[in-house]
Amino acid sequence: MTFGLRKRLSKERGFSLMPRAMAISSSSCKLPLVAVCQVTSTPDKQQNFKTCAELVREAARLGACLAFLPEAFDFIARDPAETLRLSEPLGGRLLEEYTQLARECGLWLSLGGFHERGQDWEQTQKIYNCHVLLNSKGAVVATYRKTHLCDVEIPGQGPMCESNSTMPGPSLESPVSTPAGKVGLAVCYDMRFPELSLALAQAGAEILTYPSAFGSVTGPAHWEVLLRARAIETQCYVVAAAQCGRHHEKRASYGHSMVVDPWGTVVARCSEGPGLCLARIDLSYLRQLRQHLPVFQHRRPDLYGNLGHPLS
């Protein structure tokens, strides 16, 4: 387990900006605690649930109010046909197990990428990559269906064509008030599109979450850089739960789950292998930073358009 306890001091124009997400003090213990879970999903859905449930129960024992699970927490299949066969509707057995888990543990759950058979399943025979947010009573309070599908060919990493089995979501989801702050929902490849994060921030997001399953080539090159960039440009906390290790003979993931504060400092990071890391969310620090660096007030849509249109 990694607790991101280091304090760093940065200065800009004489103003001290200290990342305080896990600073050791009596006041910090009153800040909301979030847990970021890192797993190695396989095609075995029940074993995956057992692993995730153990981490969620540990997060609850440690006092977290919200636990984040990565993209494909339910399973990672060997091919598109297996993906479609293992998928379920939101009202299926697996989501019911997670609603019971949230109630049992008394904490919120960010289920980072559920293979969802939507209402159009019979017509399309394709699914959605659905980020589901449960409250501590097990109720579904928000769903976001991944809007940017990962159809790429990276040398050394193998091709990925998510659209073979998945439909793109039609819209963004407004940020949701949680015990840790207002959470904006996204999934993995979405982090490459800053317009989405800007739209969520302008709609009131204080925490952006990118549950992911990054590859072994793009991970070392882009993972931390992108997450820190999204945090800095939106002045939000960024929470990124990740898949790690080898899922089966055809696929492996980079891991390195982390929490980044609004200054761009990594304040918590998972070690190698399955596990979790913890961070405290300090919204007073976020508001202070936005006050001293009011970048959203300085935007010039008259020059370059309104990138990331505010959500209605």
Task: Measure CA 21 to chain center.
Answer: 17
The pLDDT of residue 28 is: 72
Closest CA to 244 of 51, 6, 21: 51
The pLDDT of residue 310 is: 63
- Count how many domains the chain has: 1
Task: With cut-offs at 50, 70 and 90, classify the pLDDT of residue 308.
Answer: low
Phi and psi at residue 28, in whole multiples of 5°?
A: -65, -30
The pLDDT of residue 52 is: 98
Q: Residue 221 domain-assigned?
A: yes
Euclidean distance between the first and final Cα of the chain, in Å?
40
The pLDDT of residue 13 is: 28
* Catalytic hit among 105, 188, 244, 270: 188
Task: With cut-offs at 50, 70 and 90, classify the pLDDT of residue 160.
Answer: confident
The pLDDT of residue 22 is: 38
What CA–CA distance (Å, rounded) separates 12 from 289? 11
Give the CA distances from residue 196 to residues 110, 135, 225, 228, in Å, rounded to whole numbers and listed in that order: 18, 24, 17, 15
Q: Residue 5 domain-assigned?
A: no
The range of the structural domain enclosing residue 143 comes to 33-297
Strand partners, 7: none
Q: Does residue 41 or residue 28 have the better pLDDT?
A: 41
The pLDDT of residue 312 is: 58
Structure tokens at 235: 């002045």
The pLDDT of residue 220 is: 94
Q: Does residue 111 or residue 151 have the better pLDDT?
A: 111
The pLDDT of residue 29 is: 75
- The percentage of the chain sitting over the pLDDT mark of 70, rounded to a whole number, equals 90
The pLDDT of residue 24 is: 34
188 classed as catalytic:
yes
Q: Which of 6-10, 77-81, 170-174 has the lowest mean pLDDT?
A: 6-10
Map tokens 């935007």 to a residue: 299
Q: Residue 79 domain-assigned?
A: yes
DSSP string, the chain: -B-------EEETTEEE---TT--STTGGGS-EEEEEEB---S-HHHHHHHHHHHHHHHHHTT-SEEEE-TTSS---SSHHHHHHH-B-TTSHHHHHHHHHHHHHTSEEEEEEEEE--TTHHHH--BEEEEEEE-TTS-EEEEEE-SS--EEEETTTEEEEGGGTBPPPS-----EEETTEEEEE--GGGGG-HHHHHHHHHTT-SEEE--B---TTHHHHHHHHHHHHHHHHHT-EEEE-BBEEEEETTEEEE---EEE-TTS-EEEE--SSSEEEEEE--HHHHHHHHHHS-GGGG--HHHH--SSPPP-
Task: With cut-offs at 50, 70 and 90, classify the pLDDT of residue 64.
Answer: very high
pLDDT greater than 90 at residue 252: no
Angle at the Cα of 91 from the Cα atoms of 88 and 96, rounded to 5 degrees: 95
Q: How many CB atoms lie within 10 A of CB 128?
A: 26
Mean pLDDT in the chain? 90
* Catalytic hit among 37, 45, 71, 88: 71
Q: Residue 16 domain-assigned?
A: no
- Overall average pLDDT of the 44-59 stretch: 98
The pLDDT of residue 271 is: 86
Q: Residue 48 domain-assigned?
A: yes
Q: Residue 304 domain-assigned?
A: no
Q: Residue 11 domain-assigned?
A: no
Q: Which of 6-15, 113-122, 190-199, 262-271 has the lowest mean pLDDT?
A: 6-15
Write the pLDDT tens digit of every residue in 187-240.
999 999 999 999 999 999 999 999 999 998 999 999 999 999 999 999 999 999
Contact present, 38 and 305 (Cβ < 8 Å): no
Which residue type occupies 75?
F
User: 13 Cβ partners below 8 Å, 6+ apart?
Assistant: none
CATH at 247: 3.60.110.10
Write the pLDDT tens digit of every residue in 4-35.
323 332 333 233 343 433 333 345 779 999 99
The pTM of the full predicted model, rounded to 2 decimals, is 0.90
pLDDT greater than 80 at residue 94: yes
* Catalytic hit among 45, 126, 146, 182: 146
Contact present, 160 and 168 (Cβ < 8 Å): no
Q: Residue 309 domain-assigned?
A: no
